[in-house]
Structure 1
Amino acid sequence: MPDRSASWDAALGRLYDVFARVPRPARVPGCPHCAGPGEDRRLLDGPVAAIGAGDLARYAAKALTTWGGEAEFRYFLPRLLECAAADAFGYPDPEIVFGRLAAAGWAEWPGEERAAVTAFLDAWWDETLRRHPSSPGIGTVLCSLAATGLDLGPRLRALRPLATEAAIAHLHDLATEELSGGRLTNPFWDRSSPGHAVVLAWLTGGPAAEAAEAAFARETREPVLELLAAARPHLGPGA
């Protein structure tokens, strides 16, 4: 991520520090049709932080399914999340990688590990809100956070003040690109999940519309007013 904030660097550093205590596996066992002989050596022969995104992408796509289990996933976790948050893999998509956290049962991990993961997820959200455009976009970030099982209510409340032009632009993107016919359009959404319900209710149930109206009333910059005007018809019931 370019121009990273001190809070992002601190959260990422803490993630690496906490998960450095996970023992390095001797091997990463996997389906022989999915991982070639010795393919895991590229992942194990150096520091976790130095693993190239291209080398890690293949593991990330198969982690916890056909290549490695929870122990290996926890060992690689800091680099996995760092690369996924930067959308550095190409494939798998960030939503898939962050969804592996739920599959690994991270909510039951030791308290220090849970706290480090939560701090990283919050730092990623804060970094997203801090700039526009962001890569990945806010719709991908929200869907990824939801896939972890994280409560999105407090994160949406951080967006609601629309205190910056970047925040307003993100709301515009959510309203005009991520919402259609009362549904969130990202194909990775689990539409039965609490996260989907929270985001949809926020966008169509009043809070986002109220935030947009308040911002419209106080704004004087024409480009920002245009963003808000474009977003307003999409916010509210039936959007």
Structure 2
Amino acid sequence: MSGWEASKRRMYDVFGHVPRPERMDGCPHCVEPDEERCLLAGPVESVRAEALARYAAKALTTWGGVAELRYFLPRLLECAATDAFGYPDPEIVLGKLAAADWLAWPVDERDAVTEFLRDWWQETLLHYPAHPPPDTVLCALASTGMDLTPCLTAWGRLDTDATITHLYDFVLTGMSDRRLTNAFWNRGDPAYRQVLAWLTGGPAAAAVEAAFARQTSEPMLELLAAVQPALLPPDRR
């Protein structure tokens, strides 16, 4: 079992004590009476993504509260991590965690969620192409309010072709004029500043320089050379 699969299993185990809701109150203009029946008919692990998507979009705003979110959370995160909903986007789904103040939940629940999210990031870096791509995943993780330092550190190793190619793609499509382009980024959020500082303030450029010294693949060297100018701090350009 991979680390990501193990962390997914742990999340289901940790949140398994959360009682199944008897019903889920929602805005009468947004949610049909008894619409939750298909979501509560069986184990949470077996809820179909297409059935859960509507709840995922409306959770905490017009359908249900924190108790319901905690019950569905393992399945919600599992579906978001594989982009199984189509809509809502992973950034929207993971933003529900911040809205539910998850960092104040019991320590075992916080640890289980954190482990899953970090392993999702590791799984993303491991494969190229990845779906969802790192641009989406990193923005989604940022929306939770979690510390992104371990994620950026892992990326900065640039020790595989996949991590180098992901960085190349991110610089081409996820940045413009030293800004992050994903529409879900909150430019006033500390996570936005953290990621931008890592990319353009020196750490990513240093990682590229270190990768140059040990890389022997000509295609990877070309990608590193292509991204380096965009990552250099202003005083080194």
SS in 1 for 2:194: helix
TM-score (norm 2): 0.96
AA of the residue aligned to 2:36: D
Aligned partner of 1:130 in structure 2 is: 126
Aligned partner of 2:142 in structure 1 is: 146
SS in 2 for 1:82: helix
Deviation at 1:15, TM superposition (A): 0.4
Is residue 91 of structure 1 aligned with residue 87 of structure 2?
yes
Contact 1:138-1:170 within 8 A present in 2 as well: yes
Question: 2: CA distance between counterparts of 1:213 and 1:188?
Answer: 30
Is residue 198 of structure 1 aligned with residue 209 of structure 2?
no
The list of structure 1 runs, each at least 4 consecutive aligned residues, that deviate by more than 4 angstroms after superposition, is none
Matches within 5 A, 1:27-66: 27-66=23-62
Aligned partner of 2:176 in structure 1 is: 180
Question: 2: CA distance between counterparts of 1:86 and 1:160?
Answer: 24
Question: 1: CA distance between counterparts of 2:230 and 2:75?
Answer: 37
Is residue 109 of structure 1 aligned with residue 109 of structure 2?
no
AA of the residue aligned to 2:224: L
Aligned partner of 1:100 in structure 2 is: 96
Contact 1:182-1:237 within 8 A present in 2 as well: no
Is residue 163 of structure 1 aligned with residue 159 of structure 2?
yes
SS in 1 for 2:17: coil
Percent identity (aligned): 62
AA of the residue aligned to 2:91: E
Question: 2: CA distance between counterparts of 1:237 and 1:93?
Answer: 32
Deviation at 1:236, TM superposition (A): 2.3
Deviations 1:13-39 (A, max 9, x none): 000001110000001110111111221
**What stretches of structure 2 of length at least 5 have no aligned partner?**
none
Deviations 1:45-101 (A, max 9, x none): 011010111000000000000000000000000000000010110100000000100
Question: 2: CA distance between counterparts of 1:228 and 1:17?
Answer: 42
Q: CA RMSD in A?
A: 1.2
Deviation at 1:233, TM superposition (A): 2.1
Question: 2: CA distance between counterparts of 1:126 and 1:102?
Answer: 22
Question: 1: CA distance between counterparts of 2:211 and 2:111?
Answer: 34
Question: 1: CA distance between counterparts of 2:204 and 2:232?
Answer: 8
Question: 2: CA distance between counterparts of 1:214 and 1:108?
Answer: 38
Contact 1:176-1:234 within 8 A present in 2 as well: no
TM-score (norm 1): 0.95
Is residue 212 of structure 1 aligned with residue 208 of structure 2?
yes
Matches within 5 A, 1:63-74: 63-74=59-70
Question: 2: CA distance between counterparts of 1:44 and 1:137?
Answer: 31
> What is the total number of aligned residue pairs between the two structures?
235
